[in-house]
Chains A and B, each alone.
Chain A
Amino acid sequence: MTGSLVVARLLIGEAARRRLLLALLLLTLVVIALTVWGFSRINELTPSGQPISEAQRRTIASQLLILVMFMFSWVISLASVFVAAPAISGELESGIAAAVLARPISRLEYVVGKWLGLLALILAYGIGAGVVEIVAVNVVVGYLPPRPLEFLAFVVGEGVVLLTLALALSTRMSGMVGGVIAAILFGIAWMGGIIGGVGAALGNQTITHVGTATKLILPTDGLWRGAVWSLEPAVIIAANTQLGPAVAANPFFAAEPPPAAYVVWAVAWIAAVLVLAVWSFRSREI
């Protein structure tokens, strides 16, 4: 599989040379600076002329962090789509792929190499930016979410699901088309999750099943629920659960983590789509 490593290294090198990494880094720093400024204002809140209590401050910080991280998960997801969608199709269209594939490198090695390179980019960006944001918030308001490592795993997992999907589409369609399809599917899965939650809130089985089905077909929203759960202090979970089944409709709340079987399903889904991508690329004419 040395061919895969060459392809992966080339993809990372391209991202660095084309200043994709620099652009992501600078934009992320701007966003983190803005959110940190926003978090620092919590300390100055005096709703009834009195400084807020420690418990209030932690509650506000936890909810604000969930909103910020919701945006972060969208950035990771869409960045994954846009980087992966042209990864193969772009090289086929330009002709770069013909010269590479005329070397002793199999289609399997080529696709796996692209996937490994994209995986490395998303891991580096997702973990790097996520850690900086969590640490920055901790420094400013002294709040640390209860399960930061699980959060990073879930949110980066969303990115990996989407980059694998976009890469598979890239073996057959142009970057623009594949990117749009993957982005729309991501949006539909998110909506499906909310609709399923509404079904649960209303006690409607059929609508709940629609939500479950979308969570299985594209496991991004299911992983997002895991990410939300990782950011919730126990007191928030307890308070929300008292509100009854209606909270299931809230996309920024999860009463419990996704079951272990679901995490296994997400991993199997990624593996299956990657196999599909290899099969699709093998049978394609260059």
Chain B
Amino acid sequence: MASAPAIRAEHITKRYGKIVALSDLSLDVASGVFGFLGPNGAGKTTAIKVLLGLTRPTSGGGAILGEGFGTKAALRRIGYLPELFRYQSWLAAREVLALHCELAGIERARWSAEIDRILAIVGLADRGASRVGTFSKGMQQRLGLGVALLGDPQVVLLDEPTSALDPVGRHDVREIIRALRERGAVVFLNSHLLTEVEQVCDSVAIVDRGKVVAQGTLADLLRTSSVRIRASGLTREGRAALARFGELDDGADGAILIRGIEMERIPDAVAAAVASGARVYAVEPQHESLEERFLRLLGQ
């Protein structure tokens, strides 16, 4: 039997009264960095809480590393950075990490070295003895990231890990995520920051109002693009023929933009335009950015 995927969610629905936070969410994450993308309030945090067993789904289920959500066996192998990252303000950063070493069941003899390693990774090596209450938001988020990395967990769930970070911090987090992927960990990254996702994720799901509206590898999702065609003599029938390839938009310069067309179908679109009697002067394929794709999906 093939080994279970790192993260499997099957038909998870979560309702809070009349509000549907998640609707029939299914996903399999086998390896690499998975980006869970969506606008604010789309259900991203609810999804992570369900995966951790902090919240029970109304229906559906799944497993992490083959273990049920929220079981001790699963939680022992998960690192988690909450969206609302707050740690005991009266403790020093080292003490917070020691607390989580103990809760995670890491051998006591390893704590000191592990805490040093983590503090260095998240850039807090010189602040280990400082009380968390004196930390800026960005430093608290770095500490939270450190807590999530303790003990080399096999699955790391990060809920908006750069929300409080400056550009340097964001860069550091991307490097940390890449290092996690290199050592074989599976990262589930909740984010609404598209560039962040575009730079580090192998696969993504785009979620809106609790529903997954697109899912796949980044290459799959961005396979569609748009093309600008400058042509004269385009008849109503010619436009209708082009509309079969994607969504039409009239450019300011008289060109026509076909959005959401797959690259390999561009020659067919040009042929259709010519067949309708139009004279084609220029064809400019344009790759769609994740942002454009995202906005187009949410606009649907």
Cβ 8 A contact of A285, one of B55, B87, B88, B100: B55
> What are 22 A-B pairs at a CB distance below 8 A?
A10-B88, A14-B90, A17-B91, A94-B84, A94-B86, A95-B84, A96-B86, A98-B82, A98-B84, A99-B80, A99-B87, A99-B147, A102-B52, A102-B54, A102-B75, A103-B103, A103-B104, A104-B103, A104-B105, A285-B55, A286-B49, A286-B55
The CA of A182 and the CA of B102, in the complex, are separated in Å by: 34
B85 at interface, CB cutoff 8 A: yes
Q: Decide yes or no: A106 and B72 within 8 Å by CB, A98-B54, A98-B82, A100-B103 being known contacts.
A: yes
A140 at interface, CB cutoff 8 A: no
Q: B54 touching A10 by the CB < 8 A rule? A: no
The CA of A285 and the CA of B147, in the complex, are separated in Å by: 22
Residues of chain B lying within 8 A (CB to CB) of residue A103: 75, 100, 103-104
The 4 closest A-B pairs by CB, nearest first: A95-B84, A103-B103, A104-B72, A286-B54
B264 to chain A, nearest CB (A): 45
B interface vs A, CB < 8 Å?
49, 52, 54-56, 72-73, 75-76, 78, 80, 82, 84-88, 90-91, 99-100, 102-105, 144, 147
Q: A18 touching B90 by the CB < 8 A rule? A: yes
A3 at interface, CB cutoff 8 A: yes
Q: Decide yes or no: A95 and B82 within 8 Å by CB, A104-B75, A104-B104 being known contacts.
A: yes
Q: Give the A interface residue count (CB, 8 A).
A: 21
The CA of A102 and the CA of B99, in the complex, are separated in Å by: 13
A interface vs B, CB < 8 Å?
3, 6, 10, 13-14, 17-18, 94-96, 98-106, 285-286
The CA of A2 and the CA of B290, in the complex, are separated in Å by: 47
Q: Decide yes or no: A3 and B90 within 8 Å by CB, A98-B82, A102-B52 being known contacts.
A: no
Residues of chain A lying within 8 A (CB to CB) of residue B86: 94-96, 99
Q: Decide yes or no: A105 and B103 within 8 Å by CB, A98-B82, A286-B54, A286-B55 being known contacts.
A: yes
Task: Given contacts A6-B102, A105-B103, list 9 more A-B pairs with CB under 8 A.
Answer: A6-B103, A10-B88, A95-B86, A99-B85, A99-B87, A99-B144, A102-B52, A102-B78, A103-B100
The CA of A3 and the CA of B88, in the complex, are separated in Å by: 17
Q: Decide yes or no: A101 and B54 within 8 Å by CB, A95-B84, A95-B85, A286-B49 being known contacts.
A: yes
